[in-house]
Amino acid sequence: MSKFSIIKTPNTSSKISLSVERQEVILEINHQEEQLEEMKRRREAEMVASEIRSAIEELSLLAVNLKTGGGAAADDQTSAHVPIKPFLSLCNLLIQVLDKIGPTMAVLRQDIHHNIQRLENFHESDPSIYWDVVEILKKEVNEGKAKKGPTCSKAFVWLTRSLDFTLALLQLLVKDFGRNMEQAVEESYSITLKPWHGWISSTAYRVALKLVPDTQTLLNILKVKDEDDDMLKEEIQNLISLLTPVLEHNKDILRTYGLDKLKST
């Protein structure tokens, strides 16, 4: 007997198709998570990986998901997926960079950390279902809770926007490592986060972002031992090429569920 025991109804074939598709996606995600764990073990053994290299590894898993059924056509984002573990691992790497910069980044770090925790806690409530961020969004949207209070939907929105800010900043820096950091930060903030910040959030972020170190200090933080500027630039370009489609995928999902226009106070 087939492992899919289904009561025959007029929609039986579509149910079978959806069930099989879901199983295939879950198997693929499990395989990706095994790869992720192996990468982490190797990283711990080497003890020399930079955040840039680690981010490239996490993004490689997310990129594979987009190519193997996790991504949907532009007009059918309801069947899209965002595997929660590699996505949150990527966000945690951003926290590691902020930690290296120091306590001046505490406001930014706390905001990102709280959003990561919110999604992690929801995932842990039922990992077999909530391995996918999109399943969490569907639940909150269907229950009418997505935009009310500190939700996982809002957490995903702001984590995506934080990564979008990071991408914009890296795109500016990789063009010119001699660029003024304060100007680069201001320009990146204006096109990514500022449109969605109210007065309170905008004021807090502007104060924090003015404390970002100079360009050379940040580049040194991102480097590993014996890495020169050319090597770092190549890695950043690789990171940008992987991060761009992942964020576009996330933004498509946010538009699908009506979450792309959310603003803070």
- Cβ of 197: how many Cβ atoms within 10 Å? 18
**Which residue has tokens 């809002």?**
154
Residue 184 forms part of a structural domain: yes
Radius of gyration of the chain (CA): 20
Q: Which amino acid, one-letter code, is at 12?
A: T
Average confidence (pLDDT) over 109-123: 95
Domain carrying residue 126: 16-256
Residue 10 forms part of a structural domain: no
Residue 265 forms part of a structural domain: no
Residue 7 has pLDDT above 50, yes or no: no
Residue 134 forms part of a structural domain: yes
Query: With bands split at pLDDT 50, 70 and 90, how would you rate the model's confidence at 17?
Result: low
Burial class, 260, CB count within 10 angstroms (exposed 0-12 / middle 13-18 / buried 19+): middle
Output the CA–CA distances (angstroms, integers) from residue 69 to 25, 26, 172, 251, 257, in the order listed. Answer: 7, 11, 32, 18, 19
pLDDT tens per residue across span 19-55: 666 677 677 777 666 766 665 555 544 444 578 888 8
pLDDT tens per residue across span 92-113: 998 888 888 878 788 888 999 9
Judge whether 193 and 96 are in contact, CB under 8 Å. no
Residue 195 forms part of a structural domain: yes
Residue 11 forms part of a structural domain: no
Predicted confidence at residue 15, as pLDDT, reads 55
Judge whether 92 and 116 are in contact, CB under 8 Å. yes
> Residue 218 maps to which CATH number?
1.10.3520.10
Residue 194 forms part of a structural domain: yes
Determine which of 12-26, 197-211, 245-259 has the lowest per-residue pLDDT on average: 12-26
Shortest CA distance to 62 belongs to which of 41, 93, 95? 93
Q: Which amino acid, one-letter code, is at 164?
A: D
Judge whether 81 and 251 are in contact, CB under 8 Å. no
Predicted confidence at residue 13, as pLDDT, reads 58
Judge whether 240 and 167 are in contact, CB under 8 Å. yes
Between 29 and 16, the more confident residue is 29
Judge whether 54 and 235 are in contact, CB under 8 Å. no
Residue 245 has pLDDT above 50, yes or no: yes
Between 23 and 214, the more confident residue is 214
Query: With bands split at pLDDT 50, 70 and 90, how would you rate the model's confidence at 265?
Result: confident
Predicted confidence at residue 58, as pLDDT, reads 84
Q: At CA 37, angle to CA 121 and CA 63, rounded to 5?
A: 85
Query: With bands split at pLDDT 50, 70 and 90, how would you rate the model's confidence at 163?
Result: very high
**How many domains does the structure of the chain reveal?**
1
What is the chain's mean pLDDT, rounded?
Answer: 82
Determine which of 26-40, 156-170, 177-191, 217-231 has the lowest per-residue pLDDT on average: 26-40
DSSP 13-42: HHHHHHHHHHHHHHHHHHHHHHHHHHHHHH
Residue 6 forms part of a structural domain: no
